[in-house]
């Protein structure tokens, strides 16, 4: 049965970006419908699983906007769209302030710059997945209640399947639920359904030759509906090849105690990461997100292994939140140990001569501080390299843990989706959060912050729709968007 009804804004996806936009638009007086494919109140999404850190490239969001902009430029090697980077740098702090005003709670979770603004209550300091009653879960509930108090409508269990286009203008979308179909007509549509990490076909097209061998480190509910619908009408895509994630023990593929933490980024950043031929294949100094992408691109992503020694196990492996030493062992993760590298190679099923040659060459150049002459080079601007030479020696088989995809629909700084043919906005169509690209990524998979990206662009989308439709901001409510003064929302 087909039903027709009209709204000012239909939002697809009730993660942090979708709920933020829906609440903001309702504040501005718009008639809003929020569409969510999850059927129950505690529908799963990455925003519910999140650790809750609001940062920009691991910088405090309260740093000077020009410094934050420079951090984005640096970490993405200039890949980030300047308008998007400018929006993040100038409005992240104001997005957090707005979330606080809606009832979201934040705490300072530690001394580091990136831990100054964490959703509360914070996650449990234990291995495995614990999300109920934690920051992301509570924040979604708070925003959902806020939306209902403002008169916003929900449709749970409904999935967007097709955009309604009239003479190049998006005028709604078609949604389906258990065989029923509805035409949801609207002045504007905002796509916020997450990335495509849960879609193996799209992952194989853009990210990995063997996506079934990646470990889903999030809710895996993002299946690329926004991406598919956008492609069908000629929307531009950006940065499709990169993912955000971390290195995990391969045991995480079958043991839920070993994800989302502990991560093995610091061990890999200090040691030597090899493939099934016992050869290095990437720069371990570029950080865990970059290494995760490199492993995902292997013909066999499960062939990767990190080799390290006692100095690394007693040093870098003890650092960071829920460090691998001791939590990897406590949670049942497998660490292969041996007194010699040859013995370690035998236990791991690796060619011993190749492993000895790889580690020997690596040690020689690291000790001489000439990691740049290695092939591939070993940089030291990020993780400091350690020579692997102090027995006992260890090996851990790695898995690329994918949290979300960095690429997606290209948008301008007001979240308007762009056409592939001429980069002009598609009238009436917006996108925010992890279904979009153009901010994170680049040659080294530069990571900015999923939560900041989602909240800032959700707010900007809502305000741009309101402005376009002639809705004035209520007294005392500052605006987010291209007309907002620098340094203010």
pLDDT in tens, 375-431: 999 998 778 999 999 999 999 999 999 999 999 999 999 999 999 999 999 999 999
- Which 3 state secondary structure label does DSSP give 349? coil
Residues in the chain: 489
Residue 476 within any structural domain of the chain: no
Last residue of a domain, one of 378, 402, 426: 402
Residue 146 sits at the vertex; the CA angle it makes with 143 and 152, to the nearest 5 degrees, is: 105
Domain shared by 362 and 443, yes or no: no
In a domain, 74, yes or no: yes
356 & 391 share domain = yes
- Determine contact, residues 143/102, Cβ cutoff 8 Å: yes
Q: Quick one: 290 and 392 in the same domain?
A: yes
For residues 379 and 288, membership in a common domain is answered with yes
Handedness of CA 355, 360, 366, 369 (dihedral sign): negative
**What CATH number is given to the structural domain containing 70?**
3.50.50.60
Burial, 6: exposed, middle or buried (Cβ in 10 Å; 0-12, 13-18, 19+)? middle
Tokens of 369: 């501080």
Instruction: Kindly state whether residues 358 and 414 are assigned to the same domain.
Output: no
Asked if the structure places residue 481 within a domain, the reply is no
pLDDT score at 475? 82
Q: Which residues in the chain show pLDDT less than 50?
A: 1-2, 485, 487-489
Domain of residue 327, CATH code: 3.90.700.10
> Between the CA atoms of 102, 103, 104 and 107, what dihedral angle is there, to the nearest 10 degrees?
130
**Do both 303 and 427 map to the same domain?**
no
The alpha-carbon radius of gyration of the chain (Å, integer) is 23
Residues 153 and 292 in one domain: no
User: Into how many domains does the chain fold?
Assistant: 2
**Omega into 260 within 30° of 0, i.e. cis?**
yes
How many CB atoms lie under 10 A from the CB of residue 314? 11
Q: Is residue 88 part of a domain?
A: yes
Q: Which domain holds residue 359?
A: 245-402
Instruction: Looking at the structure, tell me whether residues 382 and 446 fall in a common domain.
Output: no
Question: Is residue 150 classed exposed, middle or buried when 0-12, 13-18 and 19+ CB atoms within 10 A define those classes?
Answer: middle
Q: Are 183 and 3 in contact (CB under 8 A)?
A: yes
Q: Is residue 478 part of a domain?
A: no
The single residue listed with the structure tokens 């504040």 is 27
Q: Using CA atoms of 132, 133, 137, 143 in order, give the dihedral in degrees to the nearest 10.
A: 150
Q: Are 366 and 321 contained in the same domain?
A: yes
Task: Determine the Cα–Cα distance for residues 481 and 90; give it in Å rounded to an integer.
Answer: 11
Distance CA 114, CA 321 (A): 13
Residue 367 main-chain phi, psi, to 5 deg: -65, -30
Q: Do 130 and 170 fall within a single domain?
A: yes
For residue 488, what pLDDT is reported?
Answer: 41
Asked whether the beta carbons of 352 and 341 are under 8 A apart, the reply is yes
Could you tell me if 370 and 448 lie in one domain? no
77 located within any domain = yes
Residue ending a domain, choose from 402, 430, 457: 402
The set of residues, in sequence order, having a beta carbon less than 8 Å from that of 380 and lying 6+ positions away, is 285, 369, 371
Whether residue 392 is preceded by a cis peptide bond, meaning omega within 30 degrees of 0, is: yes
pLDDT the model gives residue 414:
97
Beta bridge partners of 414: none
Tokens of 127: 């291995």
DSSP strand pairing (243-249 vs 416-418): unpaired
Token representation of residue 299: 């013909």
Q: Do the Cβ atoms of 40 and 156 come closer than 8 Å?
A: yes
**Residue 138 and residue 35 share a domain:** yes
DSSP 217: -
Kindly state whether residue 102 falls inside one of the protein's structural domains: yes
- With respect to residue 489, please indicate whether it lies within any of the assigned structural domains: no
Tell me how far CA of residue 159 lies from CA of 434, 436, 437, in angstroms: 17, 18, 22
322: Cβ contacts below 8 Å, ≥ 6 apart:
125, 126, 127, 261, 262
Reported in sequence order, the residue ranges of 286-350 that DSSP labels E, i.e. its strands, are 305-309, 336-338
Contacts of 88 (CB under 8 A, 6+ apart): 56, 68, 69, 72, 439, 448, 449, 452, 453, 456
Q: Given 359, 387, 402, which residue is the final one in a domain? A: 402
């Amino acid at each position: 049965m087909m039903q027709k009804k009209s709204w000012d804004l239909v939002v697809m996806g009730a993660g942090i970006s979708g709920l933020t936009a829906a609440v903001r638009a309702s504040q501005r007086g718009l008639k809003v419908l929020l569409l969510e494919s999850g059927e129950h109140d505690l529908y799963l999404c990455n925003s519910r699983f999140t650790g809750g850190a609001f940062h920009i490239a691991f910088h405090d969001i309260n740093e000077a906007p020009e410094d934050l902009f420079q951090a984005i430029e640096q970490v993405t090697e200039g890949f980030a769209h300047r308008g998007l980077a400018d929006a993040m740098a100038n409005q992240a702090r104001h997005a957090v302030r707005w979330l606080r005003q809606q009832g979201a709670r934040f705490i300072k979770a530690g001394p580091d710059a990136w831990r100054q603004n964490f959703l509360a209550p914070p996650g449990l300091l234990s291995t495995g997945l614990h999300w109920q009653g934690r920051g992301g879960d509570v924040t979604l509930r708070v925003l959902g209640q806020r939306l209902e108090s403002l008169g916003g409508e929900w449709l749970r269990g409904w999935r967007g399947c097709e955009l309604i286009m009239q003479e190049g203008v998006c005028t709604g979308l078609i949604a389906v639920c258990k065989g029923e179909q509805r035409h949801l007509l609207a002045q504007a549509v905002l796509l916020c359904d997450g990335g495509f990490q849960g879609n193996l076909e799209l992952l194989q097209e853009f990210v990995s030759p063997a996506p079934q061998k990646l470990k889903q480190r999030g809710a895996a509910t993002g299946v690329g509906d926004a991406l598919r619908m956008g492609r069908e009408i000629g929307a531009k895509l950006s940065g499709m090849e990169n993912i955000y994630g971390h290195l995990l023990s391969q045991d995480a593929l079958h043991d839920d105690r070993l994800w989302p933490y502990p991560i093995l980024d610091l061990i890999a950043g200090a040691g030597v990461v090899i493939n099934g031929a016992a050869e290095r294949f990437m720069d371990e100094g570029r950080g865990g997100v970059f290494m995760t992408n490199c492993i995902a691109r292997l013909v066999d992503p499960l062939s990767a292994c990190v080799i390290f020694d006692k100095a690394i196990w007693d040093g870098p492996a003890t650092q960071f939140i829920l460090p691998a030493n001791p939590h990897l062992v406590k949670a049942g993760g497998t660490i292969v140990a041996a007194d010699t590298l040859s013995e370690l190679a035998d236990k791991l099923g690796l060619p011993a001569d190749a492993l000895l040659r790889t580690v020997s060459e690596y040690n020689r150049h690291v000790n001489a501080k000439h990691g740049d002459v290695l092939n591939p080079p070993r940089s030291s601007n990020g993780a400091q390299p350690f020579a692997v030479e102090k027995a006992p020696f260890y090996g851990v088989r790695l898995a690329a843990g994918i949290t979300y995809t960095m690429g997606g629909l290209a948008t301008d700084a007001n979240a308007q989706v762009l056409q592939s043919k001429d980069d002009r906005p598609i009238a009436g169509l917006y996108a925010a959060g992890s279904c979009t690209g153009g901010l994170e990524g680049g040659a080294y998979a530069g990571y900015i912050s999923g939560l900041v990206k989602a909240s800032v662009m959700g707010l900007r989308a809502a305000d741009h729709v309101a402005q376009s439709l002639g809705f004035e901001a209520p007294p005392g409510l500052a605006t987010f968007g291209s007309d907002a003064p620098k340094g203010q929302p």
